[in-house]
Amino acid sequence: MRFAGDNNIVASSNLVEYKMLSYTYIQANSCYNCPLLEKVIIPEGVEKVNYGVLCKCPKLVEVTLPDSITNMDGTVLWQCTGLKSVNIPNKLKSIG
């Protein structure tokens, strides 16, 4: 199983857009506390997104989730106060 490791881009003060690499599992806090992050693209093939992946990204307005996601932690988008909309993947079985 390939995954994006813990704390990949924690507290990056200048990151605005991030396209994640192709993994099947995105580990906790990958983009935690990135205050300027506005857009994230999670690629097709990702099946699970762990806790806190995009927490505390107040300027995040756009998140693209692939249909391959089946499990997503309930805190993935915690304190993303600028978020306008998120698509819910068809295969999503659980949030939490």
What 8-state DSSP symbol labels residue 91? T
CA distance 50 to 26: 6
pLDDT, mean over the chain? 80
Global pTM reads 0.75
Lowest mean pLDDT among 15-19, 40-44, 48-52: 15-19
Query: What is the arithmetic mean of pLDDT over 35-44?
Result: 86
Q: Kindly tell me if the per-residue pLDDT of 30 is higher than 90.
A: no
Q: What is the pLDDT of residue 61?
A: 93
58-81 pLDDT, tens digit each: 999 999 899 999 999 988 999 999
Q: Are 52 and 26 in contact (CB under 8 A)?
A: no
Amino acid at 60: L
